[in-house]
Amino acid sequence: MSKKKGLSAEEKRTRMMEIFFETKDVFQLKDMEKIAPKEKGITAMSVKEVLQSLVDDGMVDCERIGTSNYYWAFPSKALHARKRKLEILESQLSEGSQKHANLQKNIDKAKIGREQTVKQI
C-alpha cells in the first residue's frame, strides 16, 4: 500500500479557483463542500479553511444574503487585479530608476573637484 500525499495549501487554493473560473457560478459553502472533493480532490474538511483564505486575500468575493453566504470569483476580476498590480509595480520600477539616475548624478557632481588623497604612514 502506498501512502497518498495530501495537497499543499497553495495547490488547494489553485484548484478551488479553477472551480470558480470553470463554472463561472455562485456557490454556497455546502455546495463547495460537495463539489471540491469530487472534482478537484480537496478534502471536505479543508474546503471552508481554503475558501476563507481566498476571501481574505480578495481572490473570491463573499456576500451574506439573508442567512446564507454566497461565494463567487470570475476570471475577469482576476485579470483586472493582475493588471492593476502590474501597473503599480511598473510605476514603482520607473520611480526607482529615476531615483537611481538622480542619485548617480549627485554622486558625479560631488566627485568634481575632489582628489584622491594618499595616506602617509
Q: How confident is the model at residue 5 (pLDDT cuts 50, 70, 90)?
A: low
Name the strand (E) or helix (H) holding 28. Answer: strand 27-28
Give the Cα separation of 43 and 32 in Å (integer): 11
Task: Provide DSSP, 55-95.
Answer: HHTTSSEEEEETTEEEEE--HHHHHHHHHHHHHHHHHHHHH
4, pLDDT greater than 80: no
Query: Which pLDDT score, from 0 to 100, does residue 102 have?
Result: 95
Name the strand (E) or helix (H) holding 14. Answer: helix 9-23
pLDDT, tens digit, for every residue of 62-120? 899 999 999 998 888 778 888 999 999 999 999 999 999 999 999 888 888 777 777 77
Give the Cα separation of 74 and 33 in Å (integer): 19
Q: What helix, strand, coil percent values describe the chain, rounded to 5? A: 65, 10, 25
Q: How confident is the model at residue 2 (pLDDT cuts 50, 70, 90)?
A: very low
**In the chain, what is the greatest distance between 2 CA atoms, to the nearest angstrom?**
85
pLDDT, tens digit, for every residue of 19-36? 988 888 899 989 999 998
The number of CA neighbours under 13 Å toward the Cβ of 79 is 4
Query: Which pLDDT score, from 0 to 100, does residue 95 have?
Result: 96
